[in-house]
Chains A and B, each alone.
Chain A
Amino acid sequence: DVKVTQSSRYLVKRTGEKVFLECVQDMDHENMFWYRQDPGLGLRLIYFSYDVKMKEKGDIPEGYSVSREKKERFSLILESASTNQTSMYLCASSLRGGRTEAFFGQGTRLTVV
């Protein structure tokens, strides 16, 4: 079975902190994605990566950056956390191409106080 693992289920951080959310997949997938999910707004794509060191902005990249130094790991970075970044963050991965199945991690509930 494909496994996508996010490093934390719950995080509480202070405003202004630099926050790292880590995601690891074990199926040699080329594509990796970071979403946030908010009530009433659904899932929104923050960034995605289709290869090592490659990244593309999604729909809401402001305030975030990403890093993909190894194929299996995709990190989301909040440069200076703000309260409006309190959300559920979901990582996903898939094989290259648009016809493949996407698999999600268990989610990280981030609270910024």
Chain B
Amino acid sequence: KQEVTQIPAALSVPEGENLVLNCSFTDSAIYNLQWFRQDPGKGLTSLLLIQSSQREQTSGRLNASLDKSSGRSTLYIAASQPGDSATYLCALRGGTNAGKSTFGDGTTLTVKP
């Protein structure tokens, strides 16, 4: 059974800092990995999708990497802003879950002005 871990559970940084969020998983037989953002009381917003054959994806100030051999993904946020404050979740698709997604518990990011 796929297990997904996100560490740390919470992170607080000053505005302007570059930061890295981590996602580790146990089953490398995945189709893709997706990073989401969730604001309090809201749904999930898709940030980046990395297919299993890819190593990284970039969108604006966000860069996500995938290393299947070590079972790890990172989400890099450059020049953080208070508006980046949210919970960030990673989700793995495929492997033993046959196309369904397994989610981590998320990292709650606070960017202080």
Q: Is B113 an interface residue (CB 8 A)?
A: no
Question: Min CB distance, A96 to chain B, in Å?
Answer: 9
| Interface residues of B, count at CB 8 A | 25
Q: Is B76 an interface residue (CB 8 A)?
A: no
What band does the interface of chain A fall in when counting residues whose beta carbon is under 8 Å from B?
Answer: 20 to 34
Partner of B45, one of A42, A88, A104, A109: A104
Q: Is B103 an interface residue (CB 8 A)?
A: yes
Stretch at the interface among B17-25, B30-38, B58-66, B77-85: B30-38
Partner of A42, one of B42, B43, B105: B105
Could you say which residues of chain A place their CB within 8 Å of the CB of B43? 4, 6, 90, 104-107
Given known pairs A90-B44, A107-B41, the reply for A101 and B34 (CB within 8 Å) is: yes
Given known pairs A42-B103, A45-B100, the reply for A102 and B91 (CB within 8 Å) is: yes
Given known pairs A45-B100, A97-B99, the reply for A102 and B41 (CB within 8 Å) is: no
Could you say which residues of chain B place their CB within 8 Å of the CB of A98? 31-32, 93-94, 98-99
Given known pairs A107-B42, A109-B41, the reply for A99 and B32 (CB within 8 Å) is: yes
Q: Is A103 an interface residue (CB 8 A)?
A: yes
Could you say which residues of chain A place their CB within 8 Å of the CB of B93? 98-99, 102
Residues of B within 8 A of A (CB): 31-32, 34, 36, 41-46, 49, 51-52, 89, 91, 93-94, 98-101, 103-106
Residues of A within 8 A of B (CB): 4, 6, 31, 33, 40, 42-43, 45, 48, 58, 88, 90, 92, 97-107, 109
New contact pairs (17) apart from A92-B44, A102-B93, A106-B43, CB-CB < 8 Å: A33-B100, A42-B104, A43-B89, A45-B101, A97-B31, A97-B99, A98-B32, A98-B93, A98-B99, A100-B32, A101-B32, A101-B46, A101-B49, A102-B91, A104-B36, A104-B46, A107-B41
